[in-house]
Amino acid sequence: MGRMNIGGSSHTVTIGTANKVGMVIFDGVAGQQTSLGVNSSTLGGSTDVYIYKPDGSQLISDFTFGVGAHLHVTLPVNGTYTILIVPFGTTTGSITLTLSEDIYVGSIITDGASVTATIGRVGQRARMTFSGTAAQVVSMGVSSVTMSTNSDIYVYNPDGSTLTSSFQLNTSTNFHMTLPTTGTYTILIDPDQISTGSVTLTLSSEVYAGTIVVDGASVTATTTRVGQRARMTFGGTAGQVASLGVNSITMSTNSDIFVYNPDGSTLASSFILNTSTNFHMTLPATGTYTIIVDPDATSTGSVTLTLSSEVNAGAIVINGGAAPLTISRVGQRGYVTFSGNQSQQATVRITGNTMGQVTVRLLKPDGTQLTSTVSSLSSFNLATQTLPTTGTYTIQADPSGVNTGSMNISVTSP
């Protein structure tokens, strides 16, 4: 029998005879948050381990206690605890154990300084706490990490239940949390297997960039803290068509952008955020919509967005004159309409294009696409089409990226 101390040196138990067990004792106090880790073992991964309370009853066990295995337990009473090691079958060998108490790093403050937790013992965990209020939205970002990226991180509610967790701990592990209650929350970091090292966390509130108005001024959202998100809102009405364009961006182009309906469901999203990320949305309900910008990993920076209605350049007639269409806002689309008859041939013709690369689509009366082309030429045509039904057709111009400019649109038969 051997003795270990919580926070003391690692201890090696050698079992040299088949069908024998190993035993180690340690003293603990009620409420201690204790971890038992395996530094090394020649007993194999099927080793059983048991921890018994001072009264001899079982506290916890594990039946695959090989290298990298951990047991985490809160000691219920003061006294002497017993660790029993039972090799599989007739296996002999040795196992080295480390007994540690959780590290309490202290408090991390929303919008305050980043906090680093450093773990130097196998099997040890680290804790930090933060205060929050019900319905508060906070983001937790990982600034840096030197322990295994297979390590785990948990956030616990004031009542001890799990708010969120991840079994991958790296600089892309960002949590965005709406706190369910007022109180003290706990962050727990649990390194993988025999990994040790440090992790630096940053806790932030969301940046509210304000309201963006359809056909109003562009709005810039800037994030300065790792893991921080930005939001802006806009009002819309059911059936309204709105286009969201990205004027400029300095954060990672792997960042995400989401548009949420008034009921919180997702209307549109993209996991690539650059000046080609344009959304064209038909709003399903009247109310307030939310745009969320979520920078990738440790990225910070700014993004400027423009929200626009479509440009209606009016109606044209087959074999009639051309309609001028001008698009002056990033991400904006424009269109003209014409009436056509079933089986009639129609060719869409573009002249005077100053938009650069642009997608031009011919849409059927039901809104589905009949044909399209992408061109940066000054003059070009869409392929001649035989109209499938009688009704009103739409010719839609959608400039690429941040392109703006003008063109003339006509339609002939053929």
C-alpha pair distances (Å), 258 with each of 196, 202, 268: 36, 22, 6
Q: Residue 355: what pLDDT?
A: 98
Of residues 219, 217, 202, the one with CA closest to residue 300: 202
Regarding whether 400 and 319 lie in a shared domain, the answer is yes
pTM exceeding 0.85: yes
**CA 391 from chain center: how many Å?**
44
The residue among 48, 68, 101 that closes a domain is 101
Of residues 365, 360, 361, the one with CA closest to residue 392: 365
Regarding whether 237 and 257 lie in a shared domain, the answer is yes
Instruction: Report, in this order, helix, strand and coil percent for the chain, each rounded to 5.
Output: 0, 55, 45
Mind listing the pLDDT tens digit for each residue in 240-263?
999 999 999 999 999 999 999 999
Regarding whether 213 and 224 lie in a shared domain, the answer is yes
Regarding whether 192 and 160 lie in a shared domain, the answer is yes
Q: Residue 98: what pLDDT?
A: 97
Regarding whether 299 and 334 lie in a shared domain, the answer is no
Regarding whether 167 and 112 lie in a shared domain, the answer is yes
Take residue 313 and report the two structure tokens written for it: 């350049």
Mind listing the pLDDT tens digit for each residue in 120-138?
999 999 999 999 999 999 9
What range does the domain containing 66 cover?
Answer: 2-101
- Greatest Cα pair distance in the chain: 100
Q: Residue 363: what pLDDT?
A: 99
Is the pLDDT at 284 greater than 90? The verdict is yes
Q: Residue 218: what pLDDT?
A: 98
Q: The CATH number of the domain where 242 resides is what?
A: 2.60.120.380
Mind listing the pLDDT tens digit for each residue in 72-122?
999 999 999 999 999 999 999 999 999 999 999 999 999 999 999 999 999
Q: Residue 10: what pLDDT?
A: 97
User: What is the DSSP annotation of 183-238?
Assistant: EEEEEEEE--TT--EEEEEEEEEPEEEEE--TTS--EEEEE-STT--EEEEEEE-T
Regarding whether 315 and 302 lie in a shared domain, the answer is no
Q: Do residues 306 and 218 touch, judged by C-beta distance below 8 A? A: yes
Q: How many domains does the chain have?
A: 4
Regarding whether 146 and 197 lie in a shared domain, the answer is yes
Say how far apart CA 157 and CA 161 lie, in whole Å.
Answer: 5
Q: Residue 206: what pLDDT?
A: 97
Regarding whether 195 and 112 lie in a shared domain, the answer is yes
Q: What is the mean pLDDT of the chain?
A: 97
The residue among 101, 116, 150 that closes a domain is 101
Regarding whether 294 and 261 lie in a shared domain, the answer is yes
Take residue 338 and report the two structure tokens written for it: 């014409």
C-alpha pair distances (Å), 287 with each of 71, 240, 362: 51, 11, 31
Mean pLDDT along residues 32-38: 97
Regarding whether 71 and 113 lie in a shared domain, the answer is no
Mean pLDDT along residues 406-411: 99
Regarding whether 280 and 237 lie in a shared domain, the answer is yes
Q: Do residues 151 and 198 touch, judged by C-beta distance below 8 A? A: no
Mind listing the pLDDT tens digit for each residue in 132-156?
999 999 999 999 999 999 999 999 9
The residue among 285, 309, 333 that closes a domain is 309
Strand order from edge to edge, sheet including 115-119: 115-119, 197-205, 137-145, 175-178
Is the pLDDT at 1 greater than 90? The verdict is no
Q: H/E/C letters for each residue in 44-68? A: CCCCEEEEECCCCCEEEEECCCCCC
Residue-wise burial string across 362-392, b where 16 or more C-beta atoms lie within 10 A, e elsewhere: bbbbeeeebeebebeeeebbbeebebeeeee
Is the pLDDT at 36 greater than 90? The verdict is yes
Mean pLDDT along residues 333-343: 98
